């Protein structure tokens, strides 16, 4: 599958995105990307332990991926954290999100070992990319 076909598949098969590291500050890239994704029709689930129980972009913030209610089907995890945090996030995603299809690491975020682990578990992984840049190219 080509890169464009992979991106198209992610766009088409995703409905709900857990955004790990989503900031409540509109000037932060995570907020801008999450708002863009909402405008594109996706549901955003904010994940940020420092803002647990509050709302960001109209959605309740969870402290971690395992705290997202079981009745919420998360299709994609979008990671706005430093590369060193990625292995733990990937491990938690693989154990707590049974319907997960995609793991996306934002610009500047890559972790080849964690990506291989996720891919071995059947997940599609994108590293060092931004859906706010990639998705409009395919529209």
pTM of the prediction?
0.97
- The listed CATH number (3.40.50.1820, 3.40.50.970, 3.40.50.720, 2.60.40.420) that belongs to domain 3-138: 3.40.50.720
Q: Which residues of the chain have pLDDT under 70?
A: none
Cβ atoms of 42 and 18 within 8 Å: the answer is: no
Structure tokens at 50: 């420092």
pLDDT score at 3: 85
Q: CA-based angle 32:37:43, to the nearest 5?
A: 120
Radius of gyration of the chain (CA): 14
pLDDT score at 4: 86
pLDDT score at 52: 97
């Amino acid at each position: 599958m080509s890169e464009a076909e992979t991106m198209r598949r992610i766009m088409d098969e995703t409905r709900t995105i857990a955004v790990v590291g989503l900031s409540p500050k509109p000037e932060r890239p995570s907020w801008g990307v999450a708002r863009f994704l909402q405008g594109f029709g996706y549901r955003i689930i904010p994940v940020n332990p420092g803002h647990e129980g509050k709302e960001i972009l109209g959605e309740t913030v969870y402290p971690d991926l395992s705290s997202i209610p079981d009745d919420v089907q998360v299709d994609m995890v979008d990671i706005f954290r430093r590369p060193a945090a990625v292995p733990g996030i990937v491990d938690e995603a693989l154990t707590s999100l049974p319907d997960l299809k995609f793991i996306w690491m934002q610009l500047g975020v890559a972790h080849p070992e964690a990506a291989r682990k996720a891919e071995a578990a059947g997940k599609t992984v994108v590293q060092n990319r931004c859906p706010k840049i990639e998705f409009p190219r395919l529209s």
